[in-house]
Structure 1
Amino acid sequence: MSLANRPRAEQHATRAAFFIPGFATALWATLVPFAKARTDINDATLGLVLLCLGAGSLLAMPLSGLFAARLGCRRVMVATTLIICATVPGLALAESAWMLGLVLFVFGAGVGAMDCTMNVQAVVVEREAQRVMMSGFHAFFSIGGFLGAATMTLLLSARMAPISAVLLGVLMMGVVALLSARYWRGERVAHDAPLLAWPRGIVMFIGVLAFIAFLAEGAMLDWSAVFLTDIRKVDASHAGIGYVTFTLTMTVARLLGDRLVERIGRQKAIVAGALLACAGVLVLTLVTPWQASLGGYVLVGLGCANIAPALFSLAGSQNRMPQAIAITAVSTLGFAGILAGPALIGFAANHFGLIAAFVGVAMALLLVAVSTRWLRM
């Protein structure tokens, strides 16, 4: 391939890197009921087992920045793709809670490490292109999730055995990786850069904002259906419509978001997104009937869509910490928001009610909008 065409190939390869973990996590999401029945565990035990995925991701994320800096993004992403592809079949075969938890831990480590490293790659590719591209990259994680869930649902509905459906999914991820891996970045950073570092200054501030943004996304993932059934009295068979509305809106907004961010700038995009998401949470919480409150899910999807991509770009452009370490820190804090957020909402809902807990999420998003005045590089 000519040097002139290589940047475009690297951009497509970066989109493929985001697609893979989104597709893989969707495969697991469709396997959860089968894994629960096969291992014969109750809801409480399943909750503990599911924590293994998050634990693996949180432990792997800080190390992935180190390896990306020392070995280059390509080697790390190839290794993590292999880990993901090797462990997904185990999720369809594990016969005990212990085995399922162990496989989930390794699977989570692969997904978490891939998540950090692909953002490091994306920042480099975006910077060299000299135009905003991060929202579009993140959209392909959502596209991967949608296609993974749709593919598995179609295959399982056709009475295909879970392991057969999963192996077909692994084959699809393998083809995507084979076509794109040669265009993943392979350069390393200088060896005098620190191996690991605690985030400080602007990087810590960006990480805290990422924690809140991902907390809001986690709230939609884990609590939107509960809110519709418990508060709005929607039948459980229709309760997923809130999250579907949110995620489809966010995907479309990310596909269109780069042009918006390029026009108004990253900081204004974060402010506008946080205000929209705040308004959306208030609408879905306070507006009745539930059909009208779906507009709130649309606003939250529009608002959240471009906050995280803009924060990753800011982390990559700051000069207080090495790029790989900074992006790793922001990724880790953001993922902690997804894990801890639903638990915090549950704690608040238990003491103050679910409506009050959601209003608290809205206020946190308002704080993101107000605090961006201190986002100075």
Structure 2
Amino acid sequence: MELVLTRPQLVRWRTAVFAIFLASGLSIATWASRVPAIKSALGVDNVEIGFLLLGAGVASIVGLSIASAVLARFGAKRGMLGAMITFAIGVAIVGVGTDAVPSYGIVLLGLCLFGFGNGAVDVMMNIDGAAIEKQSNKTILPLFHAFFSFGTVIGAGVGALAAAAGINVLAHTVTMAGVVVVIALTTYPAVPARDLAEDPAPGERAGWRERLHTNLSAWREPRTYALGVIMLGMAFAEGGANDWLALGVVEGHGATEAVGAAGLTVFSVSMTVVRVLGGPLVDRFGRVNTLRILAVTAAVGLLLFILAPNLPLVFVGAALWGAGASLGFPLGMSAAADDPARAAARVSAAATIGYVAFLCGPPILGFISEQIGLLNTLFILVALIVASGIASPAARPIAGSTVGAGHPQR
């Protein structure tokens, strides 16, 4: 049965999902901003920090993969609540393992819970965002992803202030975990239980195994893999920038570390701005045309970044790179959720492909860069961005869906 909401109910639901996206970004930046303090407190080296990152990344992929089962059994309303509390507990445990009971194993456990919960909620909040798009008949997922970016900015800022004020990791992470739990509990009533997210109605719980079987069928659909290519290319472009853009400015163009950090800031600001403004752009030109334009923008920006003879053009390249890479992931999510009955399966599958690229791509690029140089390695990203643009027709709305179709003016 199709969900029918009043305007105030829809606004409350949309506001709740904005807050959930923000909470996810907030949690990621909370622990990431304290990595130097965690490293110092535990007395570990970069290799051991790398294994902590790997643990969180693997747990995230497990969370992404199991989200379909959680949705089939519990629905998005309860599933998001449980996942948010899980990653909040994980963030708090990181603080416990850093200061209260210093232990590498406890920090790893916390990061695994954090990664698992964040991976699971990522699928569910995107499905909710796509359902809100259909209720509103507007492209909104890019704006939801902008709120995730706002969360990372706020979290990083609070982390910097906490470090400057000498606040230990335990007090910081427990406080921020409490904030996430408050967001989880206050947003829960505003999220409707609905067939769109497979929230089981009374008496229907026995059919969850059949729903899970339907969810897993997404991996047999060619469109899933085509959407995965779109998201993979743009996830590589975003993840590669996060990890290697600043170093590329320093090592490839002979700039200072401060200038390298400024280059990454230009990329991040450009990406966030386009995510804020991207919905109307998609509604005007359609998903496919928008993805093609942005793929060209990202490829040109990255080529300019690599080949620029001076720093001003490097910054222009970084801005174009960020703008071009901004919407591939959210629009891929939106396209995967076109059919509400299979949204969970398709979003989970496509997101898994994208996140594997996001998490595993940068280390692979680092290895390759040791052989051919960092700027030369970035040409691989150009090729992946081009592949993403070529695969963009897969994002065309399916029959019966109007969100993302575009409305050209005449």
Please indicate the TM-score interval, normalised by the length of the shorter structure: over 0.9
- Which among 14, 30, 43 is matched to residue 40 of structure 1? 43
Structure 2 runs not aligned, ≥5 long: 199-206, 399-410
Q: Which amino acid aligns with 2:241?
A: M
* Superposed counterparts of 1:352-371, under 5 Å: 352-371=372-391
* Bigger Cα displacement from structure 2, 192-201 vs 148-157: 192-201
Corresponding residue of 2:229: 208
Q: Which moved more, 1:197-206 or 1:109-118?
A: 197-206
Whether contact under 8 Å (2:76, 2:193) holds in the other structure is: yes
SS of residue in 1 equivalent to 2:391: helix
Q: What is the CA–CA distance in structure 1 between the aligned matches of 2:280 and 2:184, rounded to whole Å?
A: 28
**How many Å separate the matches in 2 of 1:3 and 1:372?**
34
Distance change (3 Å), C-alpha of 1:314 and 1:303? same
> 1:261 aligns to what?
282
C-alpha contact (below 8 Å) 2:64/2:123 kept by paired residues: yes
Aligned partners of 1:168 and 1:373: how far apart in 2? 45
> Match for 2:253 among 229, 232, 240?
232
Alpha-carbon distance, 1:374 to partner: 5.2
Q: Distance in 1 between matches of 2:166 and 2:191?
A: 37
Cα deviation 1:326-359 (Å, max 9, x = unaligned): 0001111111011121123123322322222111
| 1:304 aligns to 2:325 (yes or no) | yes
Q: Return the alpha-carbon distance in structure 1 between the equivalents of residues 270 and 151 of structure 2.
A: 15
Partners of 2:145 and 2:275 within 8 A in 1: yes
In the alignment, the residues of structure 2 paired with residue 250 and residue 282 of structure 1 have an alpha-carbon distance, to the nearest angstrom, of 17
Mapping for residues 1-377 of structure 1, pairs under 5 Å: 3-94=6-97, 95-188=102-195, 189=198, 191=208, 192-193=210-211, 194=213, 195-197=215-217, 198-318=219-339, 322-373=342-393, 375=395, 377=398
User: 1:296 Cα shift?
Assistant: 1.1
Q: Deviations over 1:122-158 (max 9, x none)?
A: 1111111111111111111000100111122123212
User: Does the C-alpha gap of structure 1 residues 93 and 289 become closer, same or farther in structure 2, counting only changes over 3 Å?
Assistant: farther
CA distance in 2, matches of 1:210, 1:199: 18
State the alpha-carbon separation in 1 of the partners of residues 329 and 53 from structure 2. 24
Structure 2 letter corresponding to 1:73: A
Q: Tell me what 2:404 maps to.
A: none
Cα distance between partner residues in 1 of 2:189 and 2:144: 18
Give the paired residue count: 375
Counting aligned pairs with the same residue, the percent is 25
**TM value normalised by structure 2:** 0.87
Residue range with higher mean Cα deviation, 90-99 or 15-24: 90-99
CA RMSD of aligned residues (A): 1.8
Contact 2:95 2:174 in 1 (8 A): no
Which shows bigger deviation, 261-270 or 181-190?
A: 181-190
Q: Please report how far the alpha carbon of residue 318 of structure 1 lies from its aligned counterpart in structure 2 after TM superposition.
A: 4.8
CA contact (8 A) 2:93 2:109 kept: no
Amino acid at match of 1:180: T
Q: Name the aligned partner's letter for residue 188 of structure 2.
A: A
**1:148-187 CA deviation, whole Å, 9 max, x = no partner?**
1112212321222222222332232233223322122423
AA matched with 1:310? L
Q: Distance in 2 between matches of 1:160 and 1:187?
A: 43
Asked if the contact 1:31/1:91 (under 8 Å) is kept, the reply is no
Instruction: Give 3-state SS (helix, strand or coil) of 1:147's partner.
Output: helix
**In 2, Cα distance between equivalents of 1:69 and 1:240:** 43
- The answer to whether the 8 Å contact 1:199/1:329 transfers is no
Distance 1:238 1:167 in 2: 34
